[in-house]
Chain A
Amino acid sequence: MNIRLKLINKYISKLILWCCILILILFFTIPYIWMASSAFKPRSEIFAYIHPLSWRTFIPINPTFENFRTLLVEKGFWRPLLNSLGIAVTTVGITLLVSSMMAFALSRLKFNGRDLIFALVLATMMIPFEAIMVPMFLITQKLGLDNTYLGLFLPWIGDAFIIFLLRQQFLEIPTDIQDAAIMDGCNPFQIYWKIMMPLIKPALISAAFIKFMYSWDSYIWPLIITRDPQKMVVAVAIGKLFTDQDILWELIFAGSFIATIPIVILFIFLQRYYVEGITSTGLHGQ
């Protein structure tokens, strides 16, 4: 009797646990399911099945690519997509290069003022972008970089968080390796590029993924620095669809779908690196 009661108890608590998990999964995925299915629905179908709520709300009955065609071809959404992709790839490449160079020098070379420069880099981590966006804009304008591609990414290449993260990695490499390379006649640049960089690959992947997302998602800076629609990035383009007088729901869904799905797929593969990146620096993508 007692054993049976215990068994029933165990099953009930298991059941409750799985119900909780199911509710949580739905809570976090429903907006995505709604977005993805509506992206493939004609406009009339989106509104026809919103209420009452049913499976038709979440599954397109007559799936169509029309929304994507309208968005990419007629609204010229391909342009912001290419802009964002190009800017994100460039930002990641240049940031990783210059930040790893600095991280290497700050951890592996000895010179006067090293600690001072490192302290300066650490101090910039505390400067909130939102508090300096006005003077950053004024300076970028003074340098003639407003409304240019350069102005969109150049301010972000000296990334203190990435310098900090990579410096930690360089410090963990045993000095023997460096000494051996010196014996073999390598100069510091060769040590950095040929020997040290391959050894910190996992950290470079973390940094690259976090920086890519940061660039892809960035909104305020592109919003204030570019006026030319030709140089618009994807976040600003979606924001514009949403704040326009006449809200075209189906295009918002399609645009959000295109902007989100590649990142989500990339994340599923690179999840481990992302988690390592944010737990070792306490830094979030935004």
Chain B
Amino acid sequence: MKYINRKSEQYFYAILLILPALTAILIFQIWPIFELVHVSFRNYSMLSGNSKWIGLQNYIHTLHDPLLWRTFYNTIWFIFLKIPAQMIFAFGLALLVQSPNRGIGILRTIILIPAITSMVVISAIWGLMYHPTNGLINSFLELLHLPMQPFLISPKQAMPSIAFMTIWKDVGFNMILYLAGLMGIPSSIYEAAKIDGAGGIQILRYITIPLIKRTTIFILITNLIMAFKVFTPIYLMTGGGPTNSTRVIVLYIYDNAFIYNKMGYASSISIILGIILLIISYFSTKEYS
């Protein structure tokens, strides 16, 4: 391999080409990490500009904050409601949409449209659909002679309602990744199984599912990271209520930092969240390198 020759010229251009993006990354990605650690040891008030070193107090406070534990519980409840259902649904859709049929191509496009629509728009439209008296979903239940539901204003139903909406939005994204995984399975394996007399369910159970295990793990990890960071639909649709039943981690960080003006405490919760997500991504790189 022959690269461009003269060394000093090489360096000049390398610096020129790298500097703009690198500067942005250093200022807005790397510096915040140090700032985050720094602020998490302080009592930082944005209004007065006061900043006092208070050692581990913010971290000690996280251990004694029942609301924080509630947000962790709620986030995990959200993940539990969303991810298994979403992945099974996505896998089914990928199997259905796999065949090269014109009508099915349209279905594939349609399933992806929610994935590319803004979360704010979807939260607003679904928020109206979930409306207890004038919502579309209750009209639909009425048509089927089923009882009307309170949805977002009920502490029991709010989180499942939001999880359902995000499944509707994100399933297409998982489906695309599953489709890419399915395309990676050589057709000769399927043919061999058919010759050996395997039926549709057996092929699925003993060939397709084991062979896309890597894809499944990748999708699981991506979904976990995305679900831990859920904020927009909850901020807009319930604001954490009713009675804290949908208050999730990122919403609590946002409220502490920008509503209660407790930047230090918000930073220490951010660090806990960051560590959880780093552990999850660490497993993904282990799986993939």
Contact = CB atoms under 8 A, between A and B. Distances in A.
B16 A189 contact: yes
B118 A260 contact: yes
B126 interface: yes
A275 B176 contact: yes
A110 B21 contact: no
Contacts of A55: none
A224 interface: yes
Interface residues of B, number: 95
Contacts of A249: 128, 134
A27 B172 CA distance: 13
Interface string A127-164: 11111111111111001000000000011111010010
Interface bin, chain A? 35 or more
Interface string B11-41: 1011011101111110111111101100100
Given A135-B32, A279-B177, A128 B273 contact: yes
Contacts of A110: 3-4, 10
B140 to A, nearest CB: 6
A52 B125 contact: no
B21 A157 contact: yes
Contact of B21 (A158, A175, A187, A284): A158
The main secondary structure of chain B at its interface with chain A is helix
B270 A284 contact: no
B223 to A, nearest CB: 10
Given A105-B13, A163-B21, A213-B116, A28 B142 contact: no
A188 B4 contact: yes
A179 B28 CA distance: 36
B3 A157 contact: no
Interface in B245-263: 250, 253-254, 257-258, 263
A177 to B, nearest CB: 12
B195 interface: no
B240 interface: no
A106 interface: yes
Interface in A78-120: 97-99, 101-102, 104-106, 108-111, 114, 117, 120
A267 B112 contact: yes
Q: Is the interface of A mostly helix, strand, loop or mixed?
A: helix
A140 B31 CA distance: 11
Interface string A213-237: 1001101100010000000000110
A63 interface: no
Contacts of B218: 282
Given A24-B111, A139-B32, A260-B121, A109 B127 contact: no
Contact of B136 (A21, A34, A182, A188): A34
A25 B139 CA distance: 19
B104 interface: yes
Contacts of A216: 118
Nearest to B140: A53
Contact of A135 (B39, B127, B228, B258): B39
A11 interface: no
Nearest to B171: A28
A267 B3 CA distance: 39
A208 interface: no
Interface stretch (A2-10, A65-73, A197-205, A239-247): A239-247
Interface in A230-286: 235-236, 238-239, 241-243, 249, 252-253, 256, 259-260, 263-264, 267-268, 271, 274-275, 278-279, 282, 284-286
Nearest to B288: A282
Contacts of B129: 31, 34
Of A111, A120, A157, A160, most buried by chain B (CB within 10 Å of CB) is A111
Contact of A242 (B1, B106, B236): B236
A148 B119 CA distance: 24
Which 7 pairs between the two chains have the least Cβ-Cβ distance?
A158-B24, A131-B274, A135-B35, A158-B25, A135-B32, A155-B28, A188-B13
Given A109-B17, A134-B263, 7 more contacts: A28-B113, A50-B135, A135-B270, A256-B124, A264-B113, A275-B176, A279-B177
